[in-house]
Amino acid sequence: MTGERIFLDHASGGPLLPVARIAMEKVLSGHGAAPGGGHREARESREILEKSRKQVADFLGTDDPERIVFTSGGAEAVQSAIRGWGEAAGKGTIYVSEMEHPAVESAVRRLEKTGFSVVRIPVDGEGRLRWKKVKSAGPGLVCVHLAHHDLGTVQDFQQAAAFAKEAKAGLFVDATFGAGWVELPEGLEGVDLLAVSGHRLGGPKGSGILWIRSGFPWKAQAEGGRQENDQRAGTENLPAMAGLGAALEEWKKKAEKIRESAREVQQALWDGIRKKVAMAKLHGAGLGPERSPAHLGISFAGLEAESLALVLDRVGLAVRGGSGCVTREMKIPPAMKAIGAKPEEARSLILFSLGPDRQAVPVSLAADRVAEAVQRLTSKLPS
C-alpha cells in the first residue's frame, strides 16, 4: 500500500499548533530573563508570563488566575493535585474508579498507604461512572476524569459534582484527556482541583495546568523558590507558558470549529472501518455528545493490539496499540476490564486519536489500511 503517512496518534503526542510554535520561538530567541527579577528584562518576561496566565484563565473560564499553576505537564498536574490535597487534608475518603490514568491511580494508592480510605466508583458497559451505585463514606476527594483516555467516554459532570457535594468531598477533575474537546463546567463551578495537559491541546510538551480553588485545602508539592505564587518552585518555563497560552487562546476562539471538524473525521473513520472490517467493535460511549470527538477505541477480537499496530505502521497508519497509558503489570487496559469487555477485545484495542490542527484526514485510505492490516494478520491465524 502506498501513499502518504496517516498519523492518528495525537493523544500520545502530535504537532504544535502553529500559533503555539510561533509564540514559543519568539521567547526562545529572546533574552531569556527570569520573570522574578527587578530589571527591565525580568519585567518583559513577567509580561509574557501574565499574558499567558490570562490566556489560560480565559480558556478555563476562571476569575481566579492566581490559582493557575503552570506545571511540567498533565502528569505533574494530576499528581500535584491529589498529593497536594492529601498533604493538606491529612485524612479522608477518596472516591475514584478503577480505570483512571496511572498518574491518578498511583497518587491515590500513595495516599491509601498513608491511611486514606478509597471507595471505588463502578462503571457501566460504556465507561460511564455509576454515581448512584456509590455510597458516601464521608468527606474527602472525588476524582473524576473529563473524558476517558482509552474509551473516550465523557463523564457526567453534574452527577459528579452533586455526589461530591452530598458527600461533603472536594472534586478533582482530571481534564488531561478531554479539555478543549469537551466543555469544562462554566466558571469551573463545582470544581476544586483541575488538571490540564498542554500537548493534548496542540500546546507544548512539558506544559500543563493545575488549578486550585481559592480556600481549598492543598499544599504545594514542588518546594524551593517562590515562583507561581508559592505554588510551584522552579525557574519559570516561559517558552512553554507562552506556547500553552497561545494554544489555549486558539481553542477559546475556535473550539467549536475544532470539535466539529474532528466529529466529522471521527464519524467517517468509524463508518469506514466498520464497513470494511467485520470484527471491528467500538468501545466506550457511542459517537455523539457522550464521547470525545477526538477519539476512537476499537477492538479487533482475535488479534493482538501491538502486532496490529505494527502492521498498521508498515502500511502507513500510525496509531496506538493497547491502552495509551499502561504500567508494566497491565497487559490489559484497566478500562476494558472495568467495562466488562471480553479478554480478546481487551487485548486487541487500537486507539485512533485526532489533533486540533483540523487537517484533512484521508479517512477512506485510513480505513483501507486498517482492512489491509487486519487481513494480513487474520490470514496468518491458525484456522
> According to the binding rule CB under 8 A, does residue 247 interact with its own copies?
no
Among 33, 119, 301, 332, interactor with its own copies by CB under 8 A: 33
Please tell me whether residue 226 binds its own copies under the rule CB under 8 A: yes
Strands 295-300 and 349-353: antiparallel
Residues 137-196 that bind its own copies (CB under 8 A): none
Of residues 92-131, those binding its own copies (CB under 8 A): 101-104, 106-107, 110
Q: Locate cell 493534548: which residue?
A: 200
Exposed/middle/buried for residue 337 (C-beta within 10 Å: 0-12, 13-18, 19+): middle
Q: Does residue 266 contact residue 287 with C-beta atoms inside 8 Å?
A: yes
Cβ-based nearer residue to its own copies, 290 or 372: 372
Q: What is the DSSP string of 205-268?
A: TT-EEEEE-TTS----SS-SS-HHHHTS-S---HHHHHHHHHHHHHHHHHHHHHHHHHHHHHHH
Residues 6+ apart with CB under 8 A from 172: 81, 82, 85, 141, 142, 143, 144, 192, 193, 194, 195
Q: Compute the least distance from the CB of residue 70 to its own copies, in Å.
A: 9
Instruction: Determine if 12 is a binding residue for its own copies (CB under 8 A).
Output: yes
Among 7, 46, 58, 156, binds its own copies (CB under 8 A): 7
Which residues, in sequence order, are CB contacts of 348 under 8 Å at separation 6+? 299, 300, 301, 302, 303, 304, 305, 308
Exactly one of 52, 153, 155, 197 binds its own copies (CB under 8 A); that residue is 197
The C-alpha cell 509580561 sits at 47
Q: Considering only residues 4, 39, 113, 380, which one is a binding residue for its own copies as defined by CB under 8 A?
A: 39
Site for its own copies in 45-64 (CB under 8 A): 45
# binding residues, its own copies (CB under 8 A): 73
Q: Which is nearer to its own copies, 66 or 230 (CB)?
A: 230
Site map (CB under 8 A) of its own copies, residues 323-342, x = contact: --xxxx--------------
Q: How far is the CB of 255 from its own copies (least distance, A)?
A: 20
Q: Which stretch binds its own copies (CB under 8 A): 234-242, 245-253, 259-267, 268-276?
A: 234-242
Q: Which of 48, 73, 111, 164 binds its own copies (CB under 8 A)?
A: 73
Alpha carbons 163 and 165: distance in angstroms, whole number:
5
- Please choose, out of 11-19, 133-141, 275-283, 290-298, the segment that lies near its own copies by the rule CB under 8 A: 11-19
Q: How far is the CB of 138 from its own copies (least distance, A)?
A: 26
Contact 130, 114 (CB under 8 A): no
Q: Which is nearer to its own copies, 301 or 326 (CB)?
A: 326
Is-contact 227 234, C-beta < 8 A?
yes
